[in-house]
Structure 1
Amino acid sequence: MSVPTEPAAVEVRRQGDQYYRELAREVRLAGLLRRRYGYYAVKIGLTLLAFAGGCAAFAVIGDSWWQLAVAAFFAVMSAQLAFLGHDAGHRQVFRRRVANDRLGRVLAGLVGISYGWWMGKHTLHHAQPNHEGADPDLDIPLLAFTSGQSRDRRGLVHWTAKHQAALFFPLLLLEGLSLHWASIQAVWHGEIEHRRSEALLQLAHITIYLTAVFTVLSPPVAVAFIAVHQGLWGVYMGCSFAPGHKGMPTYHGRAIPGFLHRQVLSSRNVRGGPWVDFALGGLNYQIEHHLFPGMPRANLRRAQPLVRDFCTAHGIDYAQCGLLRSYRYVLAHLHDVSAPLRVS
C-alpha cells in the first residue's frame, strides 16, 4: 500500500481521531457499550451445561470408537469456551477488570491454555494489528504473511512457507498443541501474572484430561480421541481467527495510520446470520470489535450497520464478504506472498 508523506500522514491521523470521536459518540448514544449481563448469564450457563453433558456422554459411552464423535464435540466446546474467555479478556462481561480476569482464567483453565499468556499476546495484536514486527499474530514461523517474512524463511520453514497456501489448513491441525505448548512455556518461565494460579489450572487440566482419557479408553482409542479433539480444535480456532486479518493490508516501520484507519483497514468482516455469529464467536464482526473491544458480543450485530455507514460516509474502505470467500482471500494472499520462494 502507498505510504503518505509525513505531513499528509499526520493530517490523516488527526482527521481519523476526530472521526473516531464522532463514531464513539454515536455508539455510546445507541447504548451499544452497555453490559449485557442477562445475555452472558445465559450464554455461559448453556455453554457450561453443554460441556458437562459432553463429559457425561464420555463417561457413559466408555471404551468405544464412538468416542471420536465426542472428541469432535469437545473441539467445538473448547472453541466456544475460548470465545467466552476472549470476551472476558476484553471486559465485555463485567465492568470490573478483576471479575473479568477471574472468569477468563477459569474458562482458559477448562480449555487448557494460559489466560495471562494469551492476554499479553492478544493485547499487542489489538494495539498494532497487521503491523510486521509488532503484531504477534503475524509471527508464525512456519508461515509468511508479508513479503519481508518470505525473504527471511530458511530450511524447513522455507519449505512450509513456499507451499503455505496448500498447507494452511493441514497445519491448523497443530494449532491446538501449539497453544498448549506456548501456555506451558509461559507459565514455566514466569512470563505472566498470577503464575501460581495459572500453573495450578494448567496442571489440573492436564492431569484430569489425560487421566480420564487413558482410564476410560483403551490406548488406541485414547490416542485417537486426543488427536481428533486437539486437531479439530486447532482447525476451528484457526478458521475463526484467520478471516479477520489475513489478506488485509499490513504495515511496517513507522508507516502506520491512526487508530481508526489502522483498525478498519487491517480488518475484515464476515457476512452471515446468527449461525455465523455463533460459529465464529462474534469474531465475524472484526472491524467493530477492533474499534470497540469492550463492546459486548451481543451488541456487535447492531453496531455493524452503524459503523459501515459511518465508514462509507467518510470514504474509509470497509471490507466484508462471505465466510467461504474470506478463506479464498486468505489462501490467495498466502499464495501470492510465497511466490518468490517458489522461484528461488
Structure 2
Amino acid sequence: MNKPINFSEKSKSQYLSTAQVEAFGAKVEAIRREIMDSLGEHDAKYIYKIRNFVRYSEIASRGMLMFAGWLPPVWLLGTGLLGVSKIVENMELGHNVMHGQFDWLNDPSLNGANYDWDTMATGPDWKYTHNYIHHTYTNIVGMDHDVGYGLIRVSESQKWEPRFLLNIPLAAQLMLFFEWYVGVQNLHIEDVIAYKTKTWAQVWEEAAPVRKKMKRQIMKDYVFFPLIAGPNAIPVFSGNAVANVIRSLWASAVIFNGHFTEDAENFEMDNTDNETRAEWYLRQIRGSSNFSGTAWLHILSGNLSHQIEHHLFPDMPANRYAEAAPKIKALCAEYGIHYNEASFMTQFSSVWVRIAKCSLPNDWKSEAKHYAEHAKQRAFGLLSSKLKF
C-alpha cells in the first residue's frame, strides 16, 4: 500500500489488514457492478437532455450578445448564460463523455474517442494526463501531475522551492487561466522554467496539436463570432472572454475541492506496481473530497461534487454517482475509513488553508523558532554591550 502523507488526524483511517482491504474492495466492486448492470434508457435520456441544454443555452446566449449585447442587462444575462453553457459542456458533458461513460450507447457523437470539447485542451492530451495518468496514479506525488499542476505546492512531499512562497497568488492565477493551463499541462512547461531539463524548442515541437486546437478556439470565440456580430463585435468579444473566465474559475474550484482539501491524502511512490485493485480503491477514497449541494450544483460540477465516487468509478455515468455515494459512505463507516465530505465553501476554505501551509517549508515552524531565538540572543547581546558602556 502506498505510504500516505496526512494533513490532519481526521484523514487517518484505522489500520486494515490485507484481508480486510481485499474484502472492502470486493464490496466496492459489487456496488459498481450493481449500478453498471442497471444502465439503460434513463441514463440515455439524461445525457441527451444535458446535450440539448448545452446546445440551446449556447444559441440563446450568443443570440443575446450578437443582437442586443450593447444593452448592459442583456450583456450580463447573455454572458452569464454563455458561461453556464460552457461550464455544463465542459463538466457534465465533455469531461464525462471523454471518460467513455456513454460509449455503451453506440452513438458516435457521445463516444469518448470522438468527442472534442469546447476548451483549449486537445482530447488526446487530456485523456492521457487525466484518464490515464491521474486516474491510475491518483495523488501519488511525482507521478500524478495534477498534484499542483507543476505550478503550485499542495503536498508536504513536494520539494519546497522559493517560488512556492507565491503559492497563493500562483493558485489564484491557476484558477483564472485554468483552461489554458490544462491545455498545456502535458507539455510540462515547468521543466523549462523551473528545472531546466527541457528546452523551449522541445516544447514548441511537442505543442503542434495544442497550438492547432488553441488557434481554433481563439478564432471561434474572438474572431468569428465578433465578426458576424458586426456593430456588436465588442460586446460579443468581451462576453466570450468573460464566459471563458467564468468557466475556468468554476472548473478549477471544483477540481481544487475534489483534490486539495486538508483531509485529502497524498501518497509516495511505494509499491505502486504491486498495488491490488482493492488497495487502489482505498487510495481513491483517501485522496478525494466530496461536497454537498443542490441538484444544479451537482450538474454544474459535472457531478464531481461526488469526487470520491468519480475516482472509484471513472467510467460510470456521473448522473449515477448520487446513487453510489450513500452506499460507499456506509461501507467506509463499516471499515472505519474517513469519508471526506462537507459543504462547498467548507471544502474550498480548507483548500486555501492547505495551499497557505504548503507555501512554506515543512520545517518552517522550527526554522522560525530558530531565527526568533537567534534574533533574541543577538538583541540581548547588543543590549548588554550598551549597558557595559
- % identical aligned pairs: 18
Kindly provide the amino acid, as one letter, of the partner of residue 224 in structure 2: A
- Matching residue of 2:218: 206
- Matching residue of 1:125: 134
C-alpha distance in 1, partners of 2:287/2:333?
A: 16
- Matching residue of 2:381: none
1:303–1:213: structure 2 CA closer, same or farther, 3 Å change rule? same
Q: 1:262-306: per-residue Cα shift (whole Å, max 9, x none)?
A: 011001111223122122110011111111112112211111111
**2:99 pairs with 1:90:** yes
The equivalences for 1:265-280 within 5 A come to: 265-280=286-301
- Matching residue of 2:78: 70
The equivalences for 1:1-344 within 5 A come to: 3=3, 12=17, 15-30=20-35, 34-35=39-40, 36-63=43-70, 66-67=74-75, 69-83=77-91, 84-95=93-104, 99=108, 102=111, 105-108=114-117, 110-123=118-131, 124-149=133-158, 151=160, 153-154=161-162, 157-161=163-167, 164=168, 168-169=171-172, 171-182=174-185, 189=205, 203-215=215-227, 216=229, 221=235, 224-247=238-261, 248-254=264-270, 258-340=279-361
Give the Å deviation of 1:33.
5.8
Conserved 8 A contact 1:93-1:100 = no
Conserved 8 A contact 1:88-1:101 = yes
Conserved 8 A contact 2:36-2:316 = no
1:67–1:30: structure 2 CA closer, same or farther, 3 Å change rule? closer
Conserved 8 A contact 1:17-1:259 = no
Q: Could you state the TM-score of these two structures normalised by the residue count of structure 1?
A: 0.81
Conserved 8 A contact 2:25-2:282 = no
Conserved 8 A contact 2:94-2:116 = yes
RMSD after superposition: 3.5
Q: Could you state the TM-score of these two structures normalised by the residue count of structure 2?
A: 0.72
Give the Å deviation of 1:176.
2.5
Q: Secondary structure in 1 aligned to 2:86? A: helix
Kindly provide the amino acid, as one letter, of the partner of residue 39 in structure 2: R
Conserved 8 A contact 2:285-2:339 = yes
Q: 1:114-150: per-residue Cα shift (whole Å, max 9, x none)?
A: 1111111112111111110111111423311112435
C-alpha distance in 2, partners of 1:85/1:134?
A: 25
Q: 1:243-267: per-residue Cα shift (whole Å, max 9, x none)?
A: 1111311111216672121011001
- 327-336 vs 30-39, which moves further: 30-39
C-alpha distance in 2, partners of 1:122/1:246?
A: 16
Conserved 8 A contact 1:16-1:259 = no
C-alpha distance in 2, partners of 1:31/1:253?
A: 31
C-alpha distance in 2, partners of 1:172/1:89?
A: 22
C-alpha distance in 1, partners of 2:345/2:114?
A: 33
- Matching residue of 2:193: none
Conserved 8 A contact 1:37-1:94 = no
Conserved 8 A contact 1:81-1:111 = no
Conserved 8 A contact 2:61-2:82 = yes
Conserved 8 A contact 2:65-2:239 = no
1:260–1:77: structure 2 CA closer, same or farther, 3 Å change rule? same
1:12–1:338: structure 2 CA closer, same or farther, 3 Å change rule? farther
Unaligned runs of 5+ in 1: 5-10
Q: Secondary structure in 1 aligned to 2:267? A: coil
Kindly provide the amino acid, as one letter, of the partner of residue 331 in structure 2: F
1:93–1:208: structure 2 CA closer, same or farther, 3 Å change rule? same
Kindly provide the amino acid, as one letter, of the partner of residue 28 in structure 2: L
1:325–1:296: structure 2 CA closer, same or farther, 3 Å change rule? same
C-alpha distance in 2, partners of 1:167/1:183?
A: 19
1:69–1:112: structure 2 CA closer, same or farther, 3 Å change rule? farther
* Larger Cα-atom Rg: 2
Conserved 8 A contact 2:58-2:85 = yes
C-alpha distance in 2, partners of 1:199/1:170?
A: 21
